[in-house]
Amino acid sequence: MDFSILLVVIAGFLAHDVLCGELTFELPDNEKMCFHEEIDKGVESTLEFQVVMGGNYDVDMELTAPNGQMLYKDVKKQYDSFTWKADFKGVYTFCFSNEFSTFTHKVVYFDLQVGEDKPVVESMGEHASAMTLIETSAVSIFEELKKVLDLQTHFKLRESQGRAFAEDLNERVLLWSIGESILIVLIGIGQILVLRSFFTSKHKTSAMT
Contact criterion met (CB below 8 Å) for 60 and 94: no
C-alpha distance from residue 27 to each of 33, 54, 120, 138, 155 (Å): 7, 9, 37, 40, 21
- CA–CA separation, 78 and 88 (whole Å): 29
- CA–CA separation, 131 and 135 (whole Å): 6
The pLDDT score that the predictor gives to residue 138 is 80
- Compute the mean pLDDT over every residue in the chain, rounded to the nearest whole number: 78
Across the range 35-56, mean pLDDT stands at 88
Residue 41, H or E segment: none
The pLDDT score that the predictor gives to residue 128 is 52
Strand pairing category for 79-85 and 70-77: unpaired
Q: Judge residue 193's burial from the number of C-beta atoms within 10 Å of its C-beta, 0-12 exposed, 13-18 middle, 19 or more buried.
A: exposed
The pLDDT score that the predictor gives to residue 95 is 93
pLDDT at 11 over 50: no
- CA–CA separation, 18 and 154 (whole Å): 21
Q: Judge residue 102's burial from the number of C-beta atoms within 10 Å of its C-beta, 0-12 exposed, 13-18 middle, 19 or more buried.
A: exposed
pLDDT in tens, 86-141: 998 999 999 999 988 888 888 888 988 887 766 555 554 555 555 677 877 787 88
pLDDT in tens, 56-89: 888 999 999 999 899 999 998 888 889 999 998 9
C-alpha distance from residue 128 to each of 123, 187, 202 (Å): 8, 82, 105
pLDDT in tens, 144-199: 887 787 777 777 777 777 777 787 788 889 999 999 999 999 998 988 888 888 77
The pLDDT score that the predictor gives to residue 94 is 93
What DSSP assignment string belongs to 110-146?
A: EEEEES-PPPSSTTTTTSGGG--HHHHHHHHHHHHHH
The pLDDT score that the predictor gives to residue 131 is 61
pLDDT in tens, 15-26: 333 345 778 888
Contact criterion met (CB below 8 Å) for 33 and 110: no
The pLDDT score that the predictor gives to residue 64 is 93
